[in-house]
Structure 1
């Protein structure tokens, strides 16, 4: 592998124009294809086969409600000391609804005074706008019409908020988050290389890979159901790893120049050595993300595949465009060319390269114990982790969706925002007793605790099924509601009838349960695969074992931090989290895949350099210090870049993106600095030569994978 990449680097460096023109043609092709096909994000987050999905399918079959039309709920609250039935208030609400009806896209608007959708105290009520198209097809002009129309009621002192299936805030790709991440990455690179020119190269190549990846994903959205969040997640990952991969190759190139290699040889060797580590690390990330397909959850599998393709795109660009640009720039990237300001800010060489390694050498046992205790402390909150899906109740308090959510809870109870739809299945009951069986089953539900209101059972034309709606006393994300769903499903019905529960709340509960079950299976598969792969690469048992152990420590600490902040609400205002609530139900599985791939990145970059030194000196402890000396600073820079890129997404408006950015930023922080730069070197110091032990009989059987550049070690073209 190293020899192949050496030749690739040599070709790209010596014939840069050919390489760049080739990539330019690819870029033009994908941009043209994107313009021609357009974009279509329409994926949902359902899981076929769950109890709630089966109940939903039965509901649609037995109680057809026509097309799945988009709705906007208008929520009104009367001014102080007045009610919605006051003449002036009623007039303004009716005037608002009349104005909205002028939109030809509107199918109907309910009248809250005719449908009696008003709270008992007459203070809060709602009316539903139904459109002729699905929620995601409602035009911006229709949304603007609603926003302009409700000014009538608002100007009259009537609080008017919005809810429903039509969203007024979409997930955006390309904005303040990406810009902030790139700015911080540039500053870190400028400090690392002490060169503004060199600092811009990893960002330039990452953006090229990012644009190509985004274009291909946009094209694919027309043929595969995916959500816009899949693209945002891919951009988040691609930007971070793309900058890091280019950073490692350029850093190694400058090191080789400092050692005396000529420009051409340094570029070829950089791609052959650091590029091998990049390729292996990238493949590990890709495998981890593709592994999400194994959990058998469609939307999660698509997210993994989209993210994996983005990593592939930026990785290929790093391995080819980076040496090509280096070829064009010539000696302008030489380590001797430094920016005076940034070079003054850099610490002295001895301090920055040797101090940390010597500290670890002196206190390896204490460091390991300290890291284990710290991990346990941070991981502790994960023991009471709860999963769910953010709803309007977890949005910012300033948003109309959150205000509307709170008004409905105030007027109609917490459970109004999470109704349960129950189907009574009497298909197996005696033909002459079906109606009585449904009646008895309905009364059985009325006796259950935790129910505020239950509607009369409505039978289908066959009389074998009946539907009713339950309003719980508790909110959609409360433990009591989840328990109520389980109680209804487990209740002993009468006369061969059974209960099926669906609705958004039940669907979220089932998705969370399925994802919780999938996490151990998924983690076990990717960890097992990586363990075998690292045995092949590092030709050792203990190095892969420590890598896996370190990842498990990172994962538990990351989940513990997420529960501490997002679920328990500690430090939430500091990170702009509007409300505490359960963790995003697919976060643990997604974070496991992403963090595992990124953790193996740092493991490969750091430990491969240690093994390279060990093969030369056969001194285990010296190789650890030398590995930290040569790769520690660049791994630190790479970790900081990834942290800032992920952390920049905390500024996003969408709660899902915000929480994912925060969680991944902490995960990288913990893994890069606590585990890879501290715990792993301490372990290797204690174990000494045992780190690299592998039985001879197994060594003979295993194929040789060269990522340290042994196959090109004999190529000596130094300038003497």
Structure 2
């Protein structure tokens, strides 16, 4: 059959082929347009800034209602982000000494002169000094300030406290957020990831020019994606994690997609196909696989819109922007570069590259031999891999979820120092107080003694197990809101703090409706909302991804099996997270320091647990499910094309694995290198993502795609590609793997154990 007839029968492949060929023939124009776009967007973010905001509000929750009552009833200074604390520590003596007290008062006077400061609570008030008199707290309430610039306001307040520092007193600004709320600044991780990726590409291609094409393409894609995300900060609340997540995912998929296209193009050039024809075939075949692979990632991330957590929802679709940019550059910029370079894509061979082609052939033969071996004993391979994967996933049952507090932040950060000083001086619960807001049935007055209903509220709160301290109640001017600060006995990350939130909410105080706000309450509501929506997110991701695979291969069993395989690799990733963070085996190796409460024990400094924010597993699920589908699409495409040539299922599986094994392995190595590099970030949430993504991709590209998928495909035989006639008539003709004649003549049939499938 003439291959052009096949393209004409597949509108998508024909369109991608024409697009790729046009870009190759107008390469300099396409290259100039992409560079101009990347430079313009980057310049725009430099000129107009890239504002970020971690608005963790969840409409409809009890914590949100409490915050609204505090803001409306007591003013913006009582709203989250409306106050700043300075923690004082005097190592040379008590803060009540005359000279130190004068220095503290001078600092408070300087702070009072700052704009937006409406109230200052000094350390010499009830509850402002620790029992050792060496640790104290200055509370600053603000009004009329930009809550998206709390970091700048905090820095100004800290700078105004210079008089206490001259007196030998340490002054550290505290923050009521979590490590996830802090701005994550780009560092060396992206550079390390790019260098590791370049080394893998040099080994895979053997030429410097070919290795630089995916790096350059991913760089342009990342520049455009981050520029769009940065400018969107002026229109929507962009989470502070969005740029680093976009960098992590966008860099990995951008290099991988270009790698798949380049590998296909170089193979066609080696077979004597002209440059522009090779680009057209590459774009129509491998380009279609890239389009579907990127589509699965975007669909998985888009499912986070159903998570019920605004921060997670925004983080999902913003990260998807980087994936879309990676797909667009792969389908347009890569063909343009290939057209410009022509046969020079193989220029600048590395030393010893004369043996590179032989080495590549040997590597391909190695994967072919593995494919033959798996195809000859599928039941044995299936049993062994099931045991191994079950062992990797088993620790996931012990995964510890919960809010992560400043006790796990980088030891060099002022937020952690303030957290540790507060815990030492006032107990762990002071870092996460509960803000109980009561709505009286009838207005009450601020009085001494307090009104009976207010007094009963305070007494009932003080009697609860786990409550360390209850501050005097505050009644607003209208008498419609009562505010009580409750300090638990537990740190914010302790699960018992969340239990206390639920217990306070379940209290029945006659004549008073209770709401609980604050950091712990907000994270508790987020966890509850995400737990409630997680089954929906998982179901939508699995269903839509399987549907996309069905469109790509017109094979229902293949689509269902691929979804199940991805769930298995996810189990291995969560098992690794549990081992490192929930069981504490290796937590020190990923750069985390134990909280001060655990530092006294040597064992605790080596093995200590770290809670994982409740939104992280859902986000990881969406990202990993999409990324795992990438390798599934490329492997199945090759197997399907081999099957169309020979009609022999066993042979097709062996040939497909042999043809894609080296490329998929190289792509996986690049992904793993990028994700491991991000573990160096000081932010614990980024470390969790780095570990989970690296382990999942490593397992997926080796055990899953190299052993389990081929074994199950051999066992299913011709059922792999079975499709009911009625379904076949309904599906649009957009398959990515129907181009059997695109391939060169097949190699001699490998010798397989067993009969033909």
TM-score (normalised: structure 2): 0.87
Q: 2:723 aligns with which of 665, 681, 694?
A: 694
Q: 2:87 aligns with which of 66, 75, 78?
A: 75
Contact preservation (8 Å) 1:489, 1:501? yes
Contact preservation (8 Å) 1:103, 1:142? no
Are 2:255 and 1:255 equivalent residues in the alignment?
A: no
Q: Distance in 2 between matches of 1:490 and 1:464?
A: 21
Q: Distance in 2 between matches of 1:409 and 1:704?
A: 64
Q: Distance in 1 between matches of 2:717 and 2:397?
A: 35
Q: 2:410 aligns with which of 389, 396, 408?
A: 396
Q: Distance in 1 between matches of 2:682 and 2:15?
A: 45
Task: Give the drift of 1:88.
Answer: 4.8
Q: 2:419 aligns with which of 400, 405, 409?
A: 405
Question: What is aligned with 1:421?
Answer: 435
Are 2:541 and 1:526 equivalent residues in the alignment?
A: yes
Question: What is aligned with 1:582?
Answer: 611
SS of 2:441's equivalent?
A: coil
Deviations 1:563-619 (A, max 9, x none): 221233220111112243210221111111111110111100111110111011111
Q: 2:173 aligns with which of 162, 178, 186?
A: 162
Q: 1:449 aligns with which of 465, 477, 481?
A: 465
Task: Give the drift of 1:212.
Answer: 1.5
Contact preservation (8 Å) 1:16, 1:327? yes
Q: Distance in 2 between matches of 1:202 and 1:616?
A: 31
SS of 1:228's equivalent?
A: coil
Q: Distance in 1 between matches of 2:103 and 2:477?
A: 41
Task: Give the drift of 1:165.
Answer: 5.2
Q: 2:155 aligns with which of 123, 126, 143?
A: 143
Are 2:289 and 1:274 equivalent residues in the alignment?
A: no
C-alpha spacing 1:540/1:292, structure 2 compared with 1 (3 Å): same
Task: Give the drift of 1:295.
Answer: 2.1
Contact preservation (8 Å) 2:404, 2:492? no
SS of 1:596's equivalent?
A: helix
Q: Distance in 1 between matches of 2:174 and 2:386?
A: 47
Question: What is aligned with 1:9?
Answer: 20
Q: 2:250 aligns with which of 222, 238, 242?
A: 238
Contact preservation (8 Å) 2:27, 2:337? yes
Q: 2:672 aligns with which of 643, 651, 656?
A: 643
Contact preservation (8 Å) 1:564, 1:570? yes
Greater Cα offset, 179-188 or 481-490: 481-490
Greater Cα offset, 235-244 or 680-689: 680-689
Question: What is aligned with 1:385?
Answer: 399
Task: Give the drift of 1:532.
Answer: 2.1
Q: Distance in 1 between matches of 2:453 and 2:177?
A: 39
C-alpha spacing 1:4/1:298, structure 2 compared with 1 (3 Å): same
Task: Give the drift of 1:141.
Answer: 9.4
Q: Distance in 2 between matches of 1:696 and 1:167?
A: 55
Q: Distance in 1 between matches of 2:648 and 2:743?
A: 21
Greater Cα offset, 100-109 or 232-241: 100-109
Question: What is aligned with 1:480?
Answer: 496
C-alpha spacing 1:706/1:540, structure 2 compared with 1 (3 Å): closer
C-alpha spacing 1:52/1:142, structure 2 compared with 1 (3 Å): closer
Greater Cα offset, 517-526 or 377-386: 377-386
Contact preservation (8 Å) 1:563, 1:583? no
Contact preservation (8 Å) 1:429, 1:495? no
Are 2:316 and 1:301 equivalent residues in the alignment?
A: no
Which structure 2 segments of 5+ residues have no match? 1-11, 595-608, 746-757
Question: What is aligned with 2:304?
Answer: 292
Q: Distance in 1 between matches of 2:154 and 2:578?
A: 39
Question: What is aligned with 1:563?
Answer: 578
Question: What is aligned with 2:51?
Answer: 40
Greater Cα offset, 56-65 or 169-178: 169-178
SS of 1:469's equivalent?
A: strand
Question: What is aligned with 2:136?
Answer: 125
Task: Give the drift of 1:402.
Answer: 1.5
Q: Distance in 2 between matches of 1:202 and 1:389?
A: 38
Contact preservation (8 Å) 1:209, 1:313? yes
SS of 1:320's equivalent?
A: helix
Greater Cα offset, 515-524 or 169-178: 169-178
Task: Give the drift of 1:714.
Answer: 10
C-alpha spacing 1:712/1:428, structure 2 compared with 1 (3 Å): farther
Q: 2:622 aligns with which of 571, 575, 593?
A: 593
Are 2:517 and 1:502 equivalent residues in the alignment?
A: yes
Task: Give the drift of 1:261.
Answer: 1.5
Q: 1:61 aligns with which of 69, 72, 76?
A: 72
Contact preservation (8 Å) 1:368, 1:682? yes
Task: Give the drift of 1:164.
Answer: 2.8
TM-score (normalised: structure 1): 0.91
Contact preservation (8 Å) 1:2, 1:711? no
SS of 2:352's equivalent?
A: helix
Greater Cα offset, 539-548 or 23-32: 23-32
